[in-house]
Structure 1
Amino acid sequence: MKETESVSRRKFIGTSAIAGAAASFPYVARGEALQSDTIRVAAIGLGGRGTGAITQILDAPMDLEKNKNLRCKTKLVAIADAFPEKSANKIAAMKKKYGEDRIDVEGRIFGGLDGYKQAINEDVDMVVIATPPGFKPQQFEYAINQGKKVFMEKPVASDVTGIRRVLASAKKAKEKGLTVGIGLQRRHEERYIDCVKQLQDGVIGDINMLRVYWNGNSIWHRGKQPGMTEMEYQVNNWYHFTWASGDQICEQHIHNLDAGCWIKGMYPIKANGMGGSEMRMGGDRKLSQIFDHTFVEYTFPDGTKMFSQGRHLKGGWSHVAEYAHGSKGTCKVASHIEPFAGDPIRIRGAGGGHYQEQKDLIEALHKGEYYNEAEYGAMSTFTAILGREACYSGKEIIADDLMKKGRDYAPGIDDYTWDSAPPVAPDEKGEYPVPAPGVYRPFA
């Protein structure tokens, strides 16, 4: 295989990755300047991904100073987590690695469902939001209203109401010049950037079909602890409730769907699909209400189809990848291109997107550069929701209709407390409702 010249990461992120994905927020030369060389960070959600993001944010300045002569610092100064007692060991480990001067959170660790407000209100420059998707829209909105820069993990919402809220906050962030990073890390990986550019430049001709996969193993479940309210139980097991996670197609498969939309430079206008919950938690509906398999046929405005597989199945075929098929060849995205005529082309460039996205964000903040990834984060999340609603209902769903009339999965979520009744409840058998295709209604 021959290798090709890679494209500038910053240049491509700033143009094709945003403007080319139908976003209305182009790259802007200057953003709001930092007041010092130290970025003070608040972490909202210190689970696995939240801890990972914070670690990468703390590590990034070392590489930037070494490779780009950019002197900068990052410091964790506040934490909010629904269950703050779980954070103790993680905080101790970070203090041991980075020192107490960079992990300075004493007296600024907040719990409960509204602790994010207290953390954001602290003297911080940037907020890292890594909570369950259902809670992100109001947390993002609050951070932007308080004038904070934001890094928010994907997906950015679990329902259409949340998507509309994120889009409104994204617009406000643009008006304020507040940089927003979204955890769709493929868009920051050299191998993806290089490959997508070649595909958009026509290396395999007109792209007429995409295939995307996130087929994996089973996922975690935490039992109900003594004394827990139903709300505490569901938040602690958030992945298993659609109002909190958006289902597997949103929580994990969004990466592959986002890559497909990025390649096409557009979003689907409709979708039909099928799916169900057969093997999830051994078929025990007392533990989970989400699907364990989905299949979606998306249609783009130009008629191109994108076929999507998402699954959790222990012992099944595991495969996480994206493929493009064109008039002049095929491509396994970020791996290799196979023209119908000529030699295969190996895609060059590093992976490591989780780390690279933080390096790009920290560098932009210190240079006073601005970018806003919130719109494509919202629209790729909406694409996942579109597919989910097609699978849940068994119907063909028009994207515009869903954006206007999609269900609100967690009405009144801003006011939830541990004593609130969750949006779903178990029946007299202790079983949670699982959407039934042909019966489920996707619109409010």
Structure 2
Amino acid sequence: GANSKINLGLIGCGGRGQWIADLFLKTEKYNLVAVADYFKDRTDEAANRFSIPENKRFNGIHGYKKLLELKEVEAVAIETPPYFHPEQAANSIEAGKHVYLAKPIAVDVWGCNTVESAAKKATANNLCFLVDFQTRANASYKECVRRVHNGDIGKILLGEATYITGPTWGHMDKYLRQNPNNVDARIRAWGLDAKLSGDVIVEQNIHAIDVATWFLNAAPIKAVGSCFKKREFLGDCHDAFSVIFHFPDNILVSFCSKQNGAGWDDILCRIYGTQGTADTHYFGTVKIIGDEPYDGGRLPNLYTDGAVENIKTFYKNITEKDFSNPTVPPSVRSNLTAILGREACFRTKQSPDQKFAEITWDELIKSNQKYSLDFIT
């Protein structure tokens, strides 16, 4: 009923997993009843923090499947490296659990398709499936997008999306330096691993790309770009990306990101129209400048507030039996858009003399690209 608490299982007990579990508990609408992580020390750390008994903590690559066998677990929060999301989400729905999934939903085309199918199955089986994008839960962002869709900035001409930050994941570098070829080290340092994370453009920059696809309400037709690795960290992720996405109606969106250096941090999306400009910042203001202005104010703490909002919505959807799962299709679209950008960059990097080489949306979808990690069985 509306007053009863939902029994939650946590899959992924790292920094974000524990942080999310804490936010779930603070709403006072959930009990945390079981935890799972690849690493025993992580599982135990979370279990001890949240008073989970020995027989409700699981580790190892398939540990989460034991968590899914527990009858009392009604819902799961999946906060693992993105490579694992599709399989874990699909198996959770298969086991009859509601799913709260961290972004990005996947690292490859196959993963996006798997999540999309799992969510359709969820709807058919009266289960909730929510993808946690903080911006999409925010009232100012929602209103700004509504106004753009309503024609408040006129005809859209051009867009830009940017994610500028310093060197993230430095703490993971030490695991690789201590033991570069060790499986456990590689999984601990997942943020520096292009296959486990999807690379920076998919794992992190998707926040900016997602807002652009939300404003345009479309997928790109093709993309061209390039990327480089300039920082000293080990691993195969790139820290500088630049992409031009070609959307329908000849709308170009320029995207750039860095995960290195100092002096300026911003996650922004700007959409330029014939009568105005929408200007949105994850850590700042959301507004429209032009004939029909809008001031959505300054967002002091979207990172936390957006997650809390999504956690409350998840509860509401479960208790009110709303199984429409509207967060999934746009998340699939923006995830594939980020992958399209990544593949465009990789194609250029691999071409002779790094000559720019475009990739089309249709080509990407047809490829049904699937990453496989030989060390994970």
Same fold (TM over 0.5): yes
Match of 1:197 in 2: 146
Which shifted more, 108-117 or 312-321? 312-321
Checking the alignment, whether the CA contact within 8 Å between 2:179 and 2:185 is kept in structure 1 is: no
Residue of structure 2 in register with 1:236 after alignment: 188
Amino acid at match of 1:139: Q
Equivalent position of 2:216 in the other structure: 264
1:240, 1:323 → 2: CA distance? 29
CA distance in 1 between counterparts of 2:130 and 2:15 reads 18
Residue matched to 1:381: 335
**How far apart are the structure 2 equivalents of 1:264 and 1:393?**
25
Say if 1:397 and 1:280 are closer, same or farther in 2 by CA, change over 3 A: farther
Aligned pairs, number: 356
Distance 1:75 1:105 in 2: 13
- In 2, are the aligned partners of 1:280 and 1:291 still within 8 Å (CA)? no
**SS state at 2:87 partner:** helix
Which residue does 1:75 correspond to in 2? 31
Q: Which residue of 1 aligns with 2:317?
A: 364
Counterparts in 2 of 1:12-27, with a 5 A limit? none
Deviation at 1:205, TM superposition (A): 0.8
Q: Is the 8 A contact 1:207 1:327 kept in 2?
A: yes
Alignment match, 1:409: 371
Please state if 1:335 is matched with 2:286: yes
Contact 2:32 2:50 survives alignment (8 Å) = no
Match of 2:78 in 1: 129
Deviations 1:98-142 (A, max 9, x none): xxxxxx443111111111111111121101111111111110110
Task: Give the corresponding residue for 1:273.
Answer: 225
Q: Which moved more, 1:86-95 or 1:310-319?
A: 86-95
* 1:162 paired to 2:111: yes
> Which shows bigger deviation, 79-88 or 133-142?
79-88
- Of 280, 291, 296, which residue of structure 2 is paired with 1:347? 296
Rounded to whole Å, the distance in 2 between the matches of 1:267 and 1:39 is 36
Q: Following TM superposition, by how much is the alpha carbon of 1:177 offset from its aligned partner in structure 2, in angstroms?
A: 2.2
Pick one of 223, 234, 242 that aligns with 1:295: 242
- The aligned residue for residue 86 of structure 1 is 42
Once the two structures are superposed, what CA deviation does each residue of 1:305-341 show, in whole Å capped at 9, x if it has no partner? 11111111122532211111101011212522110x4
Judge which range, 104-113 or 195-204, deviates more.
104-113
Residues 1:52 and 2:4 aligned together: no
Identify unmatched segments of 5+ residues in structure 1: 1-33, 62-72, 96-103, 282-286, 418-444
Q: Secondary structure at the match of 2:250?
A: coil
Say if 1:105 and 1:403 are closer, same or farther in 2 by CA, change over 3 A. Answer: farther
CA positional deviation for 1:229: 6.4
Q: Deviations over 1:139-179 (max 9, x none)?
A: 01101111110000000111112122212212211211211
Q: How far off is 1:200 after superposition?
A: 1.1
- CA deviation profile, 1:282-321 (whole Å, cap 9, x unmatched): xxxxx11111100111111222111111111122532211
Aligned residues of 2:219 and 2:333 also touching (Cα < 8 A): yes
Instruction: Give the TM-score, by structure 1 length.
Output: 0.75
Alignment equivalent of 1:206, drawn from 147, 155, 160: 155
Matched-pair contact (CA < 8 Å) for 1:57–1:362: no
Aligned to 2:362: 400
Please list, as runs of the form range in 1=range in 2, the aligned pairs for 1:424-439 lying within 5 A after superposition: none
- Hey, what's the Cα distance between the residues in 2 that align with 1:374 and 1:48? 24
More strand by share: 2
What is the rounded CA distance, in whole Å, between the counterparts of 1:337 and 1:173 in structure 2?
Answer: 37
1:392 Cα deviation from its structure 2 partner? 1.1
- Other-structure match for 1:5: none
**Contact conserved, 1:79 with 1:105, CA < 8 A, in 2?**
no
* Cα separation, partners in 2 of 1:122 and 1:229, compared to 1, 3 Å: farther
Larger Rg computed on CA atoms: 1
- Partner in structure 1 of residue 10 of structure 2: 43
Corresponding residue SS for 1:346: strand
**8 Å contact 1:81–1:116 — kept in the other structure?**
yes
Distance change (3 Å), C-alpha of 1:121 and 1:271: same
Note the C-alpha offset of 1:88.
Answer: 3.5
Equivalent in the alignment of 1:4: none
Partner AA of 2:220 in structure 1: P
Kindly report the root-mean-square deviation, in angstroms, between the aligned alpha carbons of the 2 structures. Answer: 2.2
Whose helix proportion is higher, 1 or 2? 2
One-letter amino acid matched to 2:240: H
Higher relative contact order (CA 8 A, sep 6+): 1
Unpaired segments of 5 or more residues in structure 2?
349-356
Superposed CA offset, 1:345-364 (max 9, x none): 31158642111111111122
